[in-house]
Structure 1
Amino acid sequence: MASICDSIPSPESFAPSAIRFLDCQAQLLGAEGYKALAAPGSTASILLTGMTTLLIAFIGYRMLFGQTPTIREGVLTFVKIGVVLVLATSWPAYQAIVYNIILHSPAELVSAIGAPTNLPGSGGGLVARVDAVDQALKILAIDGVGAPPMGPDGRPLIPSVAPSPFLGFDNFALGFSRVIFLVSTVGAFAIVRIAAALLLALAPLFAAFLLFDGTRGLFEGWLKAILGTALGSLAIAVTLGLELAFMEPWLAELLARRAGELDVMGAPAQLLAATTIFAIALAGVTWLTARIAMSLRIPAWLKAFPASWQEDQRGRSEASRPATAAHPPIESRSRAAAIADAVAINERREAAAADAGGGSRALHIARSAGRSDAGERYDRREALSSAGRRTRQRISSRAIARDKRL
C-alpha cells in the first residue's frame, strides 16, 4: 500500500484504471495521512495534548468550588479520554475499529446481500464487468445502428420506431450513453473514496473535539460523514450491480444483431434514457445514505461536564439557606391575614378573661366592653362623616336626656 499508485489509465479500459487508482489513493491517503497526524510533535498531537490538559484542569477547578462529580460521571469522563487517545494515537486499534470497517466492510456487505440473488459483482469482479459494459457501448457506437432492412421491391422498410429528434441523433445518443455511464460510475466511486480518504486521514484532529461540549459537534459531524461514505459505497455497489444486470444482456443482444448485419433502430434513445436513469439513481441513493448518516446522535452521557453537576450544586445551595428565608416578610402579608390574626388574638383574650374572672360575669363585662367599643367607633365614624360646616345648632346627648327627664 505504500507504493505509488498507477496514475496512467489504459486507453482500452478507462473505467477499471480510474476506479483502481481512486481505491489505491484512498487507502494510501487514509493510512499515511493518519500516521503523519498521529506522530508526536504534529499539529493534531499538540492540539490533543492541550485539550486533554484543559479538560483535566477544568474538572479540578470545579471540584475546588464544590461541584464534585459522582463516581459514574468521573468514570465516563476518563473512559472518554481513553477512547479519544486510542482513536488519535494508536494506528493498530484505529485500523481495526475504523479504517477497515469504512474501506472494506461495504464489499463484504454487498457480497452477503447480493449472493442470494446472483447480483452482478457481489462475488467480486465488479470493476471488470463495468469495463465490459463500457467496451460494449464503445463497439456499438463504432458500428452504429445499421441500415434499415430492404423490402421485396428493393425499398427500405419503414422502421416501427419514433423518428430521431434531429439528424445524427443516433450516433450522438450512442456516444453520449457511454459518457454518462462512465461519468456516473467513476464519479460515484470518486466521491465516496476521496471523502473517506480525507476523513480517515483527519481522524486524530477530529477525535480531540470529542472532549468538550462546545466542540463535540465537530466530532459528531466527522463521524456522520465517515459513516455516510461507508453507506454510500454500499449503496453505489448495489445500484451498479442492478445496472449491470439490466445492461449486460441487452448490450449482448444488440451486439449480436449488429454482428448479423441487422439494424438496432431505436436502441440509441433507449440506451441514453437507461444510462441517464441509472445515473440519477446513483445520485439519489448516495443522497439518501447521507441523510441516514446525518441522523446519528452522540448520547448525552458523553458530555465532559454533565448537567447533573449543576443541578446537585443548585440543590445544595438551596438546602443551605435558612428556613426563614422561605417565609414571606411581615410587610408583604395581606390585610386579610392581619385581620384574621387580630380576630384570633381577641378570642384568646376573651377566653382568658372568662377563665380569670369567674365565668359569666366576666364574659358579660367583656361583651359590654365590646359593645361600648363598637358604640364609640360608631360615634367616631359619624363624627368623621359629619366633619365640615354645620347648618344647624349642635345639641349634645346630655341635653337631650335632661329634656326627657323634665
Structure 2
Amino acid sequence: MAVCDAIPSPESFAPSILRFLDCQAQLIGAEGYQALAVPGSTASVLLTGMVTLLIALLGYRMLLGHTPTIREGVLTFVKIGLVLVLATSWPAYQTLIYDFILRGPAELASTIGGAANLPGSGGGLVGRIDGVDQALKVLAIDGVGPAPLGPDGRPLMPSVPPPPFLGFDSFALGFSRVIFLVSTVASFAIVRIAAAILLSLAPLFAVFLLFDGTRGLFEGWLKALIGTALGSLAIALTLGIELAFVEPWVATLLARRASDLDIVGAPAQLFAASIIFAIALGAVMWLTARVAISLRIPAWLSTLQTGWAAGAAQQVEQARTTAAAYPPIESRSRAAAVADAIAINQRRETTAAEGARGSRAAHMARSLAGQNRGDRMDRLPEQDRSSRRTRSRISSRAIARDKRL
C-alpha cells in the first residue's frame, strides 16, 4: 500500500497539501472498495443475504401462482448482475465510476478552460496556485512601501482613502494570503474527501439497488458522487478565473516593490478580492450540490427495480380500476349522494307528471261539473229544495222485472 507524504514543505505549502489530499482520496477510494468487496466482509455478507432474499421472494411468488413472465425474469437477473458488477468487480468499477469521479473533472476542466484560455487548464494548476501564494507572501514581507516624496521633500497626499486603522495594510496583505489558501485548499478537500468516502462504500450501497424499498439509498449515494464530480469541475474553473485575475495583478505589485515604489491602496483591494473569490467558491459548490440533488434515476433503472413485482402491480391496478368503476355506496362522497338524490327526485316527478297527463282533463271536467251542480242548487227556491224526495227512484221496468221474479 502506498503512503502519502504528510509533511508539507514550508516553501510550498499549497502544492504539498493538495497533493496529499489527492493521494489520500485515491487510496481511500481504491483500497476501501477492495476491502469491502472481499469475501467475508460486511458488504459481502449483506450482498449474499439480499440476493438470497430476492430469489426466495421470487420463488414464493411462483408457488402462489404468480409466475413471472420472460421479461420479468430477464430484468431480475440483469439487476442482480449489475449489482454484482458494482459490488465485486474492481476493474469494471474502476472504469465505470472510479476514474470518472476522480479523473473525469480534470479532463473536462482542461477542455473547457483551454477553450477559454484560463490559467492552469492545460495542467500545472497546483503550481500556479503556489506561485500566487509565494507572491502574496513576498508582498506581506515587503509591505506597502514609503509614500512618494514631492519636490519640497514632503510625502505626497495619496489618492486612496486612508486605512481603517493603523497597521491595516500589513493585516490586509497577510490575511489575503490566508483567505486565498483556505478557500482553495478547503474547497478541494471537501470534494476530494467526500468522493473518497463515497467511492469506498460502493459495495455497501450497490446492494440497496435490489429492492424498491431501499433504492432511495442507492440513488442518494449516486447523486452525492455526481455532486462531488460536478464540484471538482466547478472549483477548477473558478480557480482558473481567479488566477487569471490575481496572477498578473500580483506580478505587477511585485515589480513595483522591486523598483522601490509604493503600493498604497493595494492591500485593501487584495483583501476584498480574496474574500470575493472565497465566496464564489462556496457558491459554486452549493449550486453543484443543488444540481446533484435534483437529478433523477434514469427510467431504465426504475424499470429494473420493478421487474419481479410487475405481475402483482398489474393485479393491484386492475382491482383499483374495478373499484373505481363500481364504487361502494359507503365510500361515495356526500356531494355525490346529494346529486344522486336530486336526480332520483327529478325522475320521480317526471314519471308522475307523465302518468297524470291523461287523467288531468277528466279530473278538471268532474270538478267543473260538481261546481255547476252546486251553483244550480244554490239558485233553487227554498220550497223546492225542501220538497226533494228522500227515497230513491224505482223505474217501471224494474217493477215489472220484480213481478216476473
Same fold at TM > 0.5: yes
Q: Could you say which residue in structure 1 is the equivalent of 2:315?
A: 313
The 1:401–1:241 alpha-carbon spacing in structure 2 relative to 1, beyond 3 Å, is: farther
Query: How far, CA to CA, are the matches of 1:11 and 1:236 in structure 2?
Result: 25
Matched letter for residue 93 of structure 2: Y
Q: Could you say which residue in structure 1 is the equivalent of 2:290?
A: 291
Q: Could you say which residue in structure 2 is the equivalent of 1:377?
A: none
- The 8 Å contact of residues 76 and 308 in structure 2, kept in 1 or not, is answered as no
1:80 Cα shift? Answer: 1.1
Q: Could you say which residue in structure 2 is the equivalent of 1:147?
A: 146
Query: How far, CA to CA, are the matches of 1:267 and 1:337 in structure 2?
Result: 92
Query: How far, CA to CA, are the matches of 2:285 and 2:169 in structure 1?
Result: 31
User: Is 1:174 aligned to 2:173, yes or no?
Assistant: yes
1:405 Cα shift? Answer: 2.7
- The 8 Å contact of residues 211 and 304 in structure 1, kept in 2 or not, is answered as no
The 1:81–1:171 alpha-carbon spacing in structure 2 relative to 1, beyond 3 Å, is: same
User: Is 1:230 aligned to 2:229, yes or no?
Assistant: yes
Structure 1's unaligned 5+ residue stretches are 329-333, 341-399
Please give the secondary structure, in 2, of the residue aligned with 1:148. Answer: coil
Q: Could you say which residue in structure 2 is the equivalent of 1:101?
A: 100
The more displaced of 74-83 and 160-169 is 74-83
- The 8 Å contact of residues 67 and 313 in structure 1, kept in 2 or not, is answered as no
1:316 Cα shift? Answer: 7.2
Q: How does 1:332-347 map to 2 (within 5 A)?
A: none
Structure 2's unaligned 5+ residue stretches are 330-343, 351-388, 396-405
Q: Could you say which residue in structure 2 is the equivalent of 1:201?
A: 200
- The 8 Å contact of residues 66 and 313 in structure 1, kept in 2 or not, is answered as no
The more displaced of 32-41 and 299-308 is 299-308
Q: Report how many aligned residue pairs link the two structures.
A: 347
Deviations 1:232-262 (A, max 9, x none): 1111000001111101100000000000110
Q: Could you say which residue in structure 2 is the equivalent of 1:302?
A: 304
1:337 Cα shift? Answer: 10
The 1:224–1:405 alpha-carbon spacing in structure 2 relative to 1, beyond 3 Å, is: same
Deviations 1:371-396 (A, max 9, x none): xxxxxxxxxxxxxxxxxxxxxxxxxx
1:66 Cα shift? Answer: 3.0
Q: Could you say which residue in structure 1 is the equivalent of 2:281?
A: 282
Q: Could you say which residue in structure 1 is the equivalent of 2:341?
A: none
Q: Could you say which residue in structure 2 is the equivalent of 1:246?
A: 245
Q: Could you say which residue in structure 2 is the equivalent of 1:403?
A: 392
The 1:319–1:265 alpha-carbon spacing in structure 2 relative to 1, beyond 3 Å, is: closer
Q: Scaled by the length of structure 1, what TM-score is found? A: 0.78
Q: Could you say which residue in structure 2 is the equivalent of 1:88?
A: 87
Query: How far, CA to CA, are the matches of 2:327 and 2:146 in structure 1?
Result: 100
1:73 Cα shift? Answer: 2.6
1:65 Cα shift? Answer: 2.3
- The 8 Å contact of residues 195 and 229 in structure 1, kept in 2 or not, is answered as yes
1:213 Cα shift? Answer: 1.2
1:318 Cα shift? Answer: 9.5
- The 8 Å contact of residues 73 and 308 in structure 2, kept in 1 or not, is answered as no
Q: Kindly, what percent of the aligned residue pairs are identical?
A: 71
The 1:184–1:335 alpha-carbon spacing in structure 2 relative to 1, beyond 3 Å, is: closer
Deviations 1:5-40 (A, max 9, x none): 000000111000000000000001100000000000
Query: How far, CA to CA, are the matches of 1:241 and 1:61 in structure 2?
Result: 59
Please give the secondary structure, in 2, of the residue aligned with 1:403. Answer: coil
- The 8 Å contact of residues 106 and 230 in structure 1, kept in 2 or not, is answered as yes
1:311 Cα shift? Answer: 4.2
CA RMSD across the alignment: 3.3
Query: How far, CA to CA, are the matches of 1:157 and 1:335 in structure 2?
Result: 102
The 1:317–1:254 alpha-carbon spacing in structure 2 relative to 1, beyond 3 Å, is: closer
Q: Could you say which residue in structure 1 is the equivalent of 2:214?
A: 215
Deviations 1:347-370 (A, max 9, x none): xxxxxxxxxxxxxxxxxxxxxxxx
Q: How does 1:12-27 map to 2 (within 5 A)?
A: 12-27=11-26
Q: Scaled by the length of structure 2, what TM-score is found? A: 0.79
Query: How far, CA to CA, are the matches of 1:3 and 1:178 in structure 2?
Result: 32
Q: Could you say which residue in structure 2 is the equivalent of 1:188?
A: 187
The 1:311–1:6 alpha-carbon spacing in structure 2 relative to 1, beyond 3 Å, is: closer
1:67 Cα shift? Answer: 2.9
Deviations 1:297-326 (A, max 9, x none): 123313245664234324777999xxxx99
Query: How far, CA to CA, are the matches of 1:319 and 1:141 in structure 2?
Result: 77
The 1:60–1:150 alpha-carbon spacing in structure 2 relative to 1, beyond 3 Å, is: same
Q: Could you say which residue in structure 1 is the equivalent of 2:271?
A: 272
Query: How far, CA to CA, are the matches of 1:173 and 1:265 in structure 2?
Result: 12
Matched letter for residue 265 of structure 1: V
